[in-house]
Amino acid sequence: MDRPSWDEYFMEITELVAKRSTCLRRKVGAVVVKDKRILTTGYNGPPAGLKHCDELGGCLRDKLGIPSGERMELSRAVHAEQNAIIQAAKYGISIDGATIYVTNHPCFICAKMLINAGIKRIVYKEGYPDEFAKEILNDAGIKVEQFKGG
């Protein structure tokens, strides 16, 4: 029987979650897992009920010429990791000690939130140009692994 590993399984789900993103620049998905059970998911997009960038004439970051990995505060989007953490808080789900699967390496802001949320392991598929995020996650002793599977 040819079954995917747990990492492959959850990463495939993360890629499906990313398809819900409305971001014009990068579609990111996140899945928080503990004891092989999905606790929450998140994808990047504007706060609930607000207009998406395509409805406002394009990406603010593109209009301002902001490179990827810089000035994350200048975005309408709530990041996928942030939305996964918010969903846990909203519905009273503890994610302390959990693993998060993400399509892209977390940024510095998300890294700080993941540390404080008690995430113990991060599995990501693609890199992200944010050396500060890598440094702070290392300092916090969080296991960070790039997904190498299919």
Work out the average pLDDT over 56-85.
89
Q: For 23-32, what is each residue's pLDDT tens digit?
A: 888 899 999 9
| Beta carbons of 21 and 80 less than 8 angstroms apart | yes
> Among 113, 108, 111, 118, which residue's Cα sits nearest to residue 34?
118
> Among 3, 41, 7, which residue's Cα sits nearest to residue 122?
7
Diameter of the chain measured on Cα atoms: 51
User: Considering the chain, what is the average pLDDT of its residues?
Assistant: 93
The amino acid that residue 50 corresponds to is L
User: Percentage of the chain with pLDDT > 90?
Assistant: 73
User: Using 50, 70 and 90 to split pLDDT, how confident is the model at 43?
Assistant: very high
Q: Exactly one of 55, 70, 81, 126 is catalytic; name it.
A: 81
Spatial CB neighbours of 138, under 8 Å, sequence gap ≥ 6: 144
What is the rounded radius of gyration, in angstroms, for the C-alpha atoms of the chain?
Answer: 15
Q: For 129-140, what is each residue's pLDDT tens digit?
A: 788 999 999 999
Residue 122 Cα distances to 5, 25, 78, 115, angstroms: 16, 22, 19, 10
Is 55 a known active-site residue?
Answer: no
